[in-house]
Amino acid sequence: MYLVCGFIGALIGARAAKKKNGRAADIAQYSAAYGILFALIGLVLTIIADRTVI
């Protein structure tokens, strides 16, 4: 689940950078930052879901 969230975050980050007319390095940096952020959120959600289901 967290990998899917990370991939979605990377796509959102790339789109945000393109919207701000960023260069290739900007797009890569936004993709990495958003991907890491969304992957961490997905990891926390996965841990919560795993621990609540008995």
Residue pLDDT, tens place only, 5-46? 999 999 999 999 999 999 999 999 999 999 999 999 999 999
DSSP letter at 23 equals -
pLDDT score recorded for residue 2: 87
Provide the pLDDT for residue 53: 77
Split at pLDDT 50, 70, 90, the class of 54 is low
Amino acid at 12: I
Give the number of other Cβ atoms within 10 Å of residue 45's Cβ.
13
Work out how many domains the chain is built from and give that number: 1
Question: pTM of the predicted model, to two decimals?
Answer: 0.88
Q: Which residues span the domain enclosing 47?
A: 2-52
Report the SS3 class of residue 46: helix
Cα 47 from chain centroid? 17
d(CA 19, CA 4): 23
d(CA 30, CA 28): 6
